A and B are shown apart, each in its own frame.
Chain A
């Protein structure tokens, strides 16, 4: 009799199957979409009851129109048009792309359009601009005798291809990562869009991709499938193995030299790669541990200690190679092909809280983080003599000054609101939409930095108290609005000085009456950027304006100075830190001067359809 397989356990644990949930859009938003799906009908009805205003009639109406292929202009059959909400109506388009939704409630309705293989162009653009995709791409004013409403969908793109191995082996199970160029805090960044593995034939496919620019790389893999396994220093010389280095399409190890794949209008792009078998050499680095703050030797083996080791290239960009810590030898171990690397180790213990009667009564920093890095090259043989001196990561204090309206004297800032500096690495890519926090604290007390790996970073300043705005952010003498922050191997930087102003301006922007659009049918929505003419580390948050939600927005906490305001009739992700992008815009924008401590009003000029 065979042993029972442990997989029987899986059955009991398998409860929610994502595949059987309704597919409401692209996967990255599934969580958010699901949440909406869980709202009870009662709640949604309540919501609808609150906004029956707008259209003339209160009678239920028929919504009708056509769905078109945005690329070809041809009608799109079997697209689903539906009113959002659990009890909403929905219909498929016919062979001429036409749809008809009877018995729709009057007033403002949010409409969703779905079809496999197609993307709602407006919703995609909204997501790229950093907006909430559930702020409904399509707002339709519904009433009696509706005009035809036209929606457009873009055919989704795909990248597929064949991976070949120089050894002639089947390229099965090679991990592929797709990067997508997006805009984050006004700058172009690369983000991980998807990962997959090659199948038994060595082929892969990324489907459902919106128009845009993509790059592709493979994760490293050793021939023996034992990548990342500990290397015994005593056996290191023997433990040579061969494998395939991480490689950008078509054949480079740098993102900057990688092919940029431009996809548009439903392209099915083929991208084939050949990976070359090469030697992977064992690398071991001994960690030199500092004394702990409690006098004992800091040991990464103590329970509760976290230890991580990250490999980067010599510019500080993270690499896909895995390094492991071996307790027995206090070494970090990996296997690498020839090249230049930096190995960064970080050790620390979480803050400890003492609980008494269920209340956290005190907390104690029990040491760390300790950090260290070593630069090295692998060239044809094992690297076993490396040392990483671990030292307490510098925790520097951000100097915060208040520049009171140009007065010579600086005053201290008195506010309990939080200031947060976030950073994003230059030339690197993000594994998710999250940016890293670099410094955090309240303005009235020290704002301290958090360890970040060596490299260069763009910095963004975020102030919760809108009575304050950024005057400048300097590292040493240089403005971080113009130059990235450089962090050394120990994680330190030149002294940081944040100068705040308390004479911030307000700007109220309003749509003209003409921007309201027709009384019935799809309501236009405008994306508005108020971009300072001067350099700043404060983010410009795009605003979405539409008549039915007031058609007006007030921005506060703005640094006084000259601004240009740009209005778009669709969601746009604008790399506003890049002057050439601004200069290439079809309009010159509306200039406005915001003076110290004053409120200004601007009637927006909207693009004419």
Chain B
């Protein structure tokens, strides 16, 4: 099953803890003749049993903790007297990454109790968090204190590259040392943003002090494309030292910051790293009033996005020397007005937040945020290019099934802004657009299989594909499915497969199961025939 939309780690531990003892009685009060979930927690690295690991049993619908227990000296845990139901399971222990049972990429195998279900021989592996650490030094070998370290995770599969890969940020200490702990294994990139501690940019400063550190990547390169990925294994500890070199700082002068109505629109300069804004500053309020122009000083060479307000526009710049930004520079932005629609025609979300995320080729790298009122939103300034829509309401992210413009209706969450204001309608899934089924192998339900909903329409993988992991009885549930024709495949031990690669799933499709989800669906589509598990 798919876990809730919050991260693994301290977050859910805290949430679970709140509910633990209070609701335990509900479960524990069931007759002792109920079902049992039991197993052993082992170290993924050594295979040794882990004592005093906390194992928690969650409710399927809201992932609230129903009961918690601590493993004994042999690593064993057990929950007794359980009702027949589906229970996601988590485990945590100091020094290890908290995890769901058999967790892969945000999916896990929930344990289903019932007749004929073996739920008492679980092996729950926990792995130690991986660590990336190092020292940041500058010219002369001095340690750099207070350097901002930004950690990016390289997407494992191309299809998930639109996910924000920034995973953590930290500051170096007085010895220049940093550490990112509790990491999942994977390929990482690390960037450093810092200022020379002695930098002075104003007129009085000597020229040799008017310096800056360009954003620097491992292995001490200032070229984004030359950044060396760091492969970190499960529970491994890798070192990445980075050296910074100060270069002359740049000035970016901006004209025309006083608007026609006399008000001052302060320009904002954002530094872009791996296509994302990492830092923003806005300056020159007094200058703007008195002279109608302003200047960013102490700018390190690099990739920036400058937001200007009169008229609203964005300037994408690769700063290598002092720059003068004229009044007509950049791309004009347009307003986007949106209306929410529910897929089943019910009343749309009244209140919430909308965020537009720039996709490949958008003239801006910065997400645009807005508020939803009465099912509508208005965004003043959106740069030309392709955007994806995220709608959030009541702390939950809604499923965007389609976006319609005046000219086209497209499934998925994307639309394109051109050279004029845009009205869009965003179709939100009701959670009813769900396909349920069961994975079978040798006539029995198979847990832990990767289930993929593959769209028939070519080129639609990225927006329409859905995934799940089968639970212990083989059951799965694919949510937020856009109406259309699909093939469902179940792959045993499929998590190592780069499933988004074109053709990667081709050989499984003939054994897959066809399914069609009608427009405006009500309720769940439950597949009657099991989906056959195929070996990877």
Contact = CB atoms under 8 A, between A and B. Distances in A.
Interface of A: 1-9, 11-12, 14-23, 40-42, 78, 80, 82-83, 85-92, 114, 116-117, 156, 158, 165, 167, 169-173, 199-201, 205, 207-208, 223-226, 229-232, 234-235, 239, 241-242, 328
Contacts of B52: 167, 169, 223-224, 242
Nearest 3 pairs between A and B by C-beta? A207-B174, A170-B95, A200-B181
B94 A83 contact: no
Interface string B347-360: 00000000101000
A207 B175 contact: yes
B390 A4 contact: yes
Contact of B163 (A5, A199, A200): A5
Nearest to B500: A1
Interface string B266-301: 000000000011011100001000000000000000
Contact of A2 (B54, B106, B146, B392): B106
B105 A5 contact: no
A8 B95 contact: no
Given A225-B92, A225-B94, A5 B202 contact: no
A20 B21 contact: no
Contacts of A4: 5, 163, 390, 397
A19 B147 contact: yes
A91 to B, nearest CB: 6
B259 interface: no
A242 B52 CA distance: 9
Given A6-B397, A90-B205, A225-B13, A22 B237 contact: no
Contacts of A83: 204
A87 B202 contact: yes
B206 interface: yes
Contacts of B92: 225
Nearest to A87: B204
A358 B20 CA distance: 46
Nearest to B463: A1
Contacts of B200: 82, 88, 90
A235 B131 contact: no
A239 B199 CA distance: 56
Given A5-B163, A92-B198, A232-B25, A224 B175 contact: no
Contacts of A15: 280
B94 A11 contact: no
Contacts of A17: 148, 193, 279
B197 A205 contact: no
A230 B174 contact: no
Contacts of B78: none
Contacts of B120: none
B151 to A, nearest CB: 12
A167 B237 CA distance: 22
Interface string B41-59: 0000000000010100000
A230 B21 contact: yes
B5 A11 contact: no
Given A3-B5, A3-B397, A200-B182, 11 more contacts: A19-B193, A20-B279, A21-B195, A91-B206, A92-B209, A114-B198, A116-B142, A199-B181, A226-B13, A231-B21, A232-B24
Contacts of B392: 6
Nearest to A203: B179
A233 B280 CA distance: 50
15 contacts: A3-B5, A7-B164, A12-B369, A90-B205, A165-B94, A169-B93, A170-B95, A200-B131, A200-B237, A223-B70, A224-B52, A225-B94, A226-B13, A229-B18, A231-B21
Interface in B428-477: 465-467
Residue among A1, A83, A156 with most chain B CB within 10 A:
A1
Interface string B517-529: 0000000000000
B209 A199 contact: no
A5 B7 contact: yes
Contact of B70 (A80, A86, A224, A231): A224
A165 B140 CA distance: 39
Nearest to B368: A12
Nearest to B413: A4
A223 B206 CA distance: 55
Contacts of B319: none
Given A80-B198, A200-B131, A241-B70, A235 B24 contact: yes
A205 B204 contact: no
Contacts of A78: 140, 142, 198
B122 interface: no
Given A169-B93, A226-B20, A235-B21, A200 B179 contact: yes
B171 interface: yes
Q: How large is the interface on B (under 10, 10 to 19, 20 to 34, 35 or more residues)?
A: 35 or more
Nearest to B285: A40
Interface string B18-32: 101110110000000
Nearest to A82: B200
Nearest to B178: A199
Given A19-B194, A22-B199, A1 B355 contact: no
Judged by DSSP, the binding face of B is mixed
Nearest to B54: A224
Contacts of A230: 18, 21-22
A205 B18 CA distance: 32
Contacts of B286: 40, 42
B163 A22 contact: no
Contacts of B208: 92
B106 A3 contact: yes
A23 B197 contact: yes
Nearest to A234: B25
B39 interface: no
Residue among B105, B140, B163, B198 with most chain A CB within 10 A:
B198
A225 B142 contact: no
Given A12-B369, A116-B174, A225-B13, A23 B18 contact: no
Given A23-B197, A78-B140, A232-B24, A199 B179 contact: yes
Nearest to A21: B195
Interface in B128-180: 128-129, 131, 133, 140, 142-143, 145-148, 159-160, 163-164, 166, 171, 173-175, 177, 179
A224 B68 contact: yes
B17 interface: yes
Nearest to A208: B174
B205 A89 contact: yes
Contact of B17 (A42, A89, A229): A229
A230 B20 CA distance: 8
A89 B206 contact: yes
A16 B174 CA distance: 21
A232 B204 contact: no
Contact of B21 (A22, A85, A172, A239): A239
Contacts of A239: 21
Contacts of B148: 17, 19-20
Contacts of B160: 1-2
A341 B13 CA distance: 28
A25 B22 CA distance: 48
B243 interface: no
Contacts of B24: 232, 235
A236 B221 CA distance: 57
A140 to B, nearest CB: 16
Contacts of B390: 4, 8
B367 interface: yes
A588 B171 CA distance: 49
B169 to A, nearest CB: 9
B341 interface: no
A41 B202 CA distance: 10
B86 interface: no
B414 interface: no
Contacts of B7: 5, 7
Contact of A6 (B6, B17, B203): B6
A295 B94 CA distance: 50
Contacts of A205: 173-175, 177
A9 B397 CA distance: 12
